[in-house]
Structure 1
Amino acid sequence: MTTLLILMLERVGILLIVVFLLSRMSSFRKIIDNEHGMKEKMLLIAVFGTFGIISNYTGIEIRGGEVSSQVWQTDVDLGSALANTRVLGVALGGLLGGPLVGLGVGMIAGLHRMTLGGFTAVACGVSTLLAGIVTGLIGKRFQKNEKNTPWRAVVIGIVMECVQMGIILMAARPFEDALTLVKVIAMPMILINGFGTLLFMLIIQSILQEEERTRALQTHKALYIADQTMPFFRQGLNAHSCREVAAIILKWTNADAISITNQHQVLAHVGTGADHHVAMKSVATQLTKNVLEQGRILKARSREEIQCFHQSCTLHAAIVLPLKVHGKTAGTLKLYFTNPNQMDQVEQELAEGLGKLFSTQLELAEAELQSKLLKDAEIKALQAQVHPHFLFNAINTISVLCRTDSEKARELLLKLSVFFRSNLQGARQMLIPLQKELEHVEAYLSLEQARFPDKYKVCLDIEPSIEKVLIPPFTLQPLVENAVRHAFLKSKTKRIGQVTVRAYEENDQMVLVTEDNGNGIDSDLLDILGKRTVDSAEGTGTALYNIRKRIEEIYGEEARFHIQSERDAGTKIVITLPLSHNQWGDQHAESLYRG
């Protein structure tokens, strides 16, 4: 018995070596880890059927109670039998794969055993098939029960081996030989198959636990990256936010370079290749263009597949993922590698997870902007209302000019039309070009100056390069209107009023300045104006409060709103807005503007 036990332990060792080698293969790990479709079931039948065949060939021949030392069994004498680990592979196949796999493995191993011969060939073949069917049926429940442990599999394997011994006693003839065989092989086979089942299940459990740990680490990393990038993606796809996001992703992945684009240009490229993959340039690689067109993940494992225009580019592999907002591709996230081997399955799955998370973040960013727009609707509706006196005065002025200066009257009618149109458009938009806001200001001033031609002068000093930069509507017009209506009211001096509007770029920011030489503001009101409405004889300060509130909601801490004033010396209001915010807002607001 001891000799047989040692020899069978060697045979189990062979199978376990094979299992260990298979466990290092990603394809086998996927089969074990995932739900089994028909393809996976066929692969399991092939793998465990092969185990059964190997077990038959490496079985130990038993003749008259004596153990043969022959290593490879291809033909068993009529009076001989085999002690092997065949049921081990069959039982495990059934437990892991279910009824179809158990049946398939049982048939392969059982039929093969019959072809080798021996007086127990039929009994062993039948018991093998029965073991496959029974463990397959058990396996259907075994897979769903989270409480199952390797020890339960061991018990099932031992029971199947005992059943095989019973079938040999019932079916093998002569009975005396069958009984002698069972006495010799029963205990070693039960012990070794139980031990082999335990080791095998521990390996499988290790695979599953390793996969779970890997997924947990991937999930943790992906969520951490998502948490770090969320404040930037909330700003949308712009150069500043994408540069920060790309730096975070590069730090926490094995990629050699990270690039983020919108539909037309590279917004950020961090890492290797930054010398020619330049931010704010048009999308150059064909691979990225294909992703933008097709809206699906594409991978490349050579520089030729990436199709970079730069001949000495060291990036030789890439994963390009579409960033989608409401089902439409708004841009791409690209992970580049200098060595294609770095782009392993873990990095690919992490990248795919990040792509989905970032798409969700962009959708949330747009939803947040829309929410701000809805919250701002009431404010804009109030701002869009025209003061009845202003309308009546404008109409009266135009009516008088119709008799005295028809061309001037026609010009003012057009300005009144522009003023109304700007009010209506501003109530619908979140951002408009600075040029449109200036048209609103000029239309208002034209109508007011027609009524009071010598009351004040207006100077506009605007840098042409920022005329298309987007700003919230009703940012400058209410300030100019405030100056006209309040700054020169009951002025103690007889000087002509001066209103100056300036707009210029400074340190990647746009500065809007509205200045007058009017009455100024009392110091006790200066600290609270813009922070809340007030109750005073000059007005409520609603316009200043609304402007400040809206720019804080849209730009956050990147915007500044500052009031300088001195009694009888005038008022200066300075608004500072970040230019980086416009990279994503440009495309978004233009679509709103057209709508």
Structure 2
Amino acid sequence: MFNLLVLLAERLGIIMLLAFLLVNTRFFRGLLEKRTFKTQIWLTLIFSLFVVIANLTGVEITNSKEVITPLILTGLPQSDSIANTRMLVITSASLTGGPYVGMLVGLVGGLHRVFFGGFSDYFYIISSVLIGYLIGVWGDKAKGDGLYPKTFWVALLAFSAEMIQMSFIFAFRGFDLVKLIFVPMVLLNTIGASLFMEILKTYLSNERQLRAVQTKDVLELTNKTLPYFRNGLNFDSALHVCQIIKEYTNFDAVGLTDTENVLAHVGAGEDHHIAGEPVMTDLSKSVIAKGEEKLAYNKEDIGCPVPDCPLTAAIVIPLRVNEETIGALKLYSTARSKMTVVEENLVNGLALIFSGQLAIGIAEEQTSLLNEAEIKALQVQINPHFFFNAINTIGALMRVDVNKAHEALMQLSVFFRSSLQNGQEKEVTLEQERRHVDAYMSIEKMRFPDKFQVDYQVDVADNVMLPSFCLQIFVENAVRHAFGGKKKNNQILISLQPVDAAHFEVSVKDNGNGISPEVLETVGQQPVKETKGSGTALYNLNQRLQGLYGSKSQLQVITGKQGTEFKTILPLKYKEGAN
């Protein structure tokens, strides 16, 4: 039994080495976090290969209980058996890919084992498929909200898988074989499955920690690049931005272009990627022309005409403002291995934020040229208190929940972009305004869990037009002023209802403390110059409502002990080209 234990430990080492090599591949790690049909197919193929290897590297046990250890098993007499790590692979497949992956891998392992042994011991097919399904189902229940079960549950499930297998062997091959293989196979396959899953969880955990660090860097990077992007996309701003990005990332070169020329290139290849000259790589030209992100993993895909260019991998992302591509952000590496999923996610986040920052600059430039200076300033401004509170919230979340921190960062990007895009339009669709409000509230709810509840009652089409920021101003006013010290049961109801064939009513109602009579007289009627108030925003909105639609649409305020309601009547207009 001891010799068998040592021999199986060697086989376990082979599987663990393969597992270590596997999780170091970018493609495999990309299959682990989301269980889709495509990822399940790939996991089935990968683990099927593993289960065949487990059979081929097994230890042969003769009918007389003699242990034979060929390097690779090429055949098996019907009277002999194999001690192997097949259950380890099936258990790992079930826990990683779910019951259906486990069943298919179990089927492959069982069929191969039966075919390998001259079509004897058909019960291995039944036991392997059954174990694959059961461990997958039990594993999904044991993992709860996590990606995989905890180590204790993994070990218990692996032990259960071996016990089921031993029951089949006892029923079909007798107690003598079970007595010989029980301890080595149960012990090593249980340990092996636990180690396999720990390797997966460790690598995923390290990747998430790296994302947390990068989230912090993105926030600092965003803060440093904002002043330059607000001046527009030009040679000077592009150079400073590229230098900042290279400082905060691991890329070997960073570049920015407009639609035709290189604006800046910092790092490897800067001797021939020169500011002011036309974009030369085929990859960048394609991204600018199509407005779609592209990745390259070799020189040929990058398409640089200079033969000795050191750049061998790249991510190129379009910079878009108002649905129009105005340039490209290019990040290069001199080795393909440096280009991981983390880098891709980082670049996507940067491109989204940079596009928003560029929109700020464009919006501010346009605002300075408009006669409606006060109104346009309102449309493009972002509340600094909200912004810094959001940054602080993301920083706090990074210490306790990386996924929520990442989600908050993405919502902040959505809020930025919708603020700036909507700010350049007098009217936007209900769908656009609602997206902006939802992004704002998602961040507020992360700051104050369970404090606010926002509900919609909408009986108009999503493409109906209303003044930009109309709903957001009402909702923000309620969030900041309506509820005082109340920490729960703070409700905001957003209602859009038809009034007649040509008009609809917009109403935002809260169940807060109401507005005092002294303040009520001035709400919406005159600007309030105070840092904690939103009277200026309400005043400007009221001015816009009347300027766009006439006195019928002026702001109405109804308040009392049960809360406050802001209402306005708007004409039923739809986005051009829609009914």
- Assess same fold via TM > 0.5: yes
Partners in 1 of 2:300 and 2:44 — Cα distance? 40
The structure-2 alpha-carbon separation of the partners of 1:378 and 1:214, relative to structure 1 and needing over 3 Å to count, comes to: closer
RMSD: 3.4
Question: Residue 184 in 1 paired to residue 180 in 2?
Answer: yes
Q: Which residue of 2 aligns with 1:13?
A: 13
CA spacing shift, 1:22–1:364, aligned 2, 3 Å: same
The answer as to 2:215 corresponding to 1:219 is yes
1:196 corresponds to 2:192: yes
Does the CA-based 8 Å contact 2:312-2:336 persist in structure 1? no
CA distance in 1, matches of 2:164, 2:297: 53
1:321 and 2:317 matched: yes
Which residue among 331, 339, 342 is the counterpart of 1:344? 339
- The structure-2 alpha-carbon separation of the partners of 1:312 and 1:47, relative to structure 1 and needing over 3 Å to count, comes to closer
Post-superposition offset of 1:13: 1.5
Task: Find the aligned partners of 1:311 and 1:13 in 2 and give their Cα distance.
Answer: 44
> Using the alignment, how far apart are the partners of 2:188 and 2:282 within structure 1?
59
Distance 2:299 2:54 in 1: 48
Cα deviation for residue 142 of structure 1 reads: 4.6
Q: Which one-letter code corresponds to 1:107 in the other structure?
A: L
Q: CA deviation at 1:270?
A: 3.8
Secondary structure of the residue that 2:125 maps to in structure 1? helix
Structure 1 stretch 351-360 or stretch 325-334: which is displaced more? 351-360
Q: What's the offset of the Cα at 1:208?
A: 1.3
Deviates more, 1:371-380 or 1:239-248: 371-380
Partner residue, 1:38: 37
Gaps of 5+ in 1: 381-427, 429-595
Distance 1:130 1:77 in 2: 25
1:304-319 to structure 2, matched below 5 A, reads 318-319=314-315
Judge conservation of contact 1:64–1:180 (CA < 8 Å) in 2.
no
For 1:166 and 1:23, locate their aligned partners in 2 and report how far apart those are by CA, in whole Å.
33
Counterpart in the other structure of 1:25: 25
Among candidates 204, 210, 213, match of residue 208 of structure 1: 204
Q: Does 1:165 align with 2:161?
A: no
Contact preservation (8 Å) 1:259, 1:333: yes
Q: Distance in 2 between matches of 1:12 and 1:379?
A: 70
How far the C-alpha of 1:17 sits from its partner, in A, is 1.7
Note if contact 1:273-1:314 (Cα within 8 Å) is conserved in structure 2: yes
Aligned residue for 1:449?
none
Contact 1:81 / 1:120 at 8 angstroms: preserved in 2?
no
The corresponding residue for 1:133 is 133
Please name the residue that 2:358 is paired with: 362
Confirm or deny that 1:335 pairs with 2:327: no
Call closer, same or farther: CA 1:260–1:60 in 2, change over 3 Å.
closer
1:205 positional shift? 1.4
**1:357-396 superposed matches below 5 A:** 357-368=353-364, 377=373
**Residues 352-395 of structure 1, C-alpha deviations (whole Å, 9 max, x = no match):** 33222211222244445566778953699xxxxxxxxxxxxxxx
Partner of 1:148: 149
Counterparts of 1:79 and 1:285, CA distance in 2: 65
Partner of 1:507: none
Equivalent positions of 1:86-485 (< 5 A) are 86-117=86-117, 121-142=121-142, 145-146=145-146, 148-170=149-171, 172=172, 178-271=174-267, 277-280=273-276, 283=279, 287-299=283-295, 318-336=314-332, 339=334, 341=336, 344-345=339-340, 347-368=343-364, 377=373
- 1:78–1:117 CA contact under 8 A, matched in 2: yes
Would the aligned equivalents of 2:61 and 2:68 in 1 still touch at CA under 8 Å? Answer: no
Q: Within 1, Cα distance between the matches of 2:337 and 2:7?
A: 44
* Cα distance, 1:325 vs structure 2: 0.5
2:402 match: none
CA distance in 2, matches of 1:276, 1:53: 51
**Helix, strand or coil for the counterpart of 1:236?**
coil
The verdict on how the C-alpha distance between 1:51 and 1:242 changes in structure 2, with shifts beyond 3 A counting, is closer
SS in 2 for 1:263: coil
Question: Residues 81 and 119 of structure 1 are in contact (CA less than 8 Å); yes or no, is this contact kept in structure 2?
Answer: no
TM-score, length-normalised on structure 2? Answer: 0.57
Q: Is the 8 A contact 1:61 1:68 kept in 2?
A: yes
Paired with 1:184 and 1:348, the residues of 2 have a C-alpha distance of: 51
The aligned amino acid for 1:164 is: Q
SS of residue paired to 2:68: coil
AA of the residue aligned to 1:354: L
Question: Across the two proteins, how many residue pairs are aligned to each other?
Answer: 374
Sort the Cα spacing of 1:168 and 1:274 in 2 relative to 1 into closer, same or farther, 3 A. Answer: closer
Where do 1:479-498 residues align within 5 Å?
A: none
Q: Which runs of 5+ in 2 are unaligned?
A: 377-423, 425-579
1:259-310 per-position Cα deviation (integer Å, ceiling 9, x unaligned): 3233344433444565665545555655544332211234556777666677
Pairwise CA distance, 1:207: 1.9
Deviation per residue, 1:162-183 (Å, 9 max, x gap): 112222233x15xxxx012222
Q: CA deviation at 1:232?
A: 1.5
2:339 corresponds to which letter in structure 1? D
Cα shift readout 1:7-59 (whole Å, capped 9, x = no counterpart): 2212212211221222222222222x331333322222222222222222333
Shift of 1:336: 4.8
Contact map agreement 2:4 2:67 (CA 8 A) in 1: no
Deviation of residue 250 (structure 1)? Answer: 2.8
Moved more, 270-279 or 152-161: 270-279
User: What is the aligned partner in structure 2 of residue 486 from structure 1?
Assistant: none
| Structure 2 SS opposite 1:260 | strand
Aligned in 2, Cα 1:369/1:141: closer, same or farther, shift over 3 Å?
farther
Is contact 1:99–1:136 with CA below 8 Å preserved after alignment? yes
> Using the alignment, how far apart are the partners of 2:187 and 2:307 within structure 1?
65
1:96 CA drift (Å): 0.8
Whether the aligned pair in 2 keeps the contact of 1:81 and 1:118 (CA below 8 Å) is no
**How far apart in 2 are the matches of 1:63 and 1:287?**
61
Q: TM-score normalised to the size of structure 1?
A: 0.56
CA 82–368 in structure 1, closer or farther in 2 if over 3 Å, else same: same
The letter for the 1-side match of 2:152 is W
SS in 1 for 2:316: strand
Partner AA of 1:159 in structure 2: S
Residues 228 and 4 of structure 1: CA distance in aligned 2, closer, same or farther (over 3 Å): same
d(CA) in 2 for partners of 1:320, 1:77: 58
Residue 222 of structure 1 and its aligned partner are, at CA, apart by 2.9
Max radius of gyration: which structure?
A: 1
Shift of 1:322: 1.4
Task: Call closer, same or farther: CA 1:151–1:375 in 2, change over 3 Å.
Answer: farther
After superposing the two structures, state which structure 1 stretch, 320-329 or 116-125, moved more. 116-125
* SS of corresponding position for 2:292: coil
Q: Which amino acid aligns with 2:226?
A: M
Residues 304-352 of structure 1, C-alpha deviations (whole Å, 9 max, x = no match): 7666677886666654321111211122223355x35476235554333
Say whether 1:58 aligns with 2:57.
yes
**SS of residue in 2 equivalent to 1:121:** coil
| Post-superposition offset of 1:229 | 0.6
Report the AA paired with residue 188 of structure 1: P
* Identical-residue share of aligned pairs (%): 39
Tell me, yes or no, if the aligned pair for 1:260 and 1:334 is still in contact at 8 Å: yes
3-state SS in 2 of match to 1:66: coil
**Does 64-73 or 21-30 show the bigger shift?**
64-73
Matched-pair contact (CA < 8 Å) for 2:47–2:93:
yes
Distance 1:251 1:241 in 2: 16
Aligned to 2:501: none
Q: Secondary structure at the match of 2:122?
A: helix
| Residues 97, 256 of structure 1: alpha-carbon distance in 2 compared, 3 angstrom cutoff | closer
Distance 1:23 1:340, change over 3 A: closer
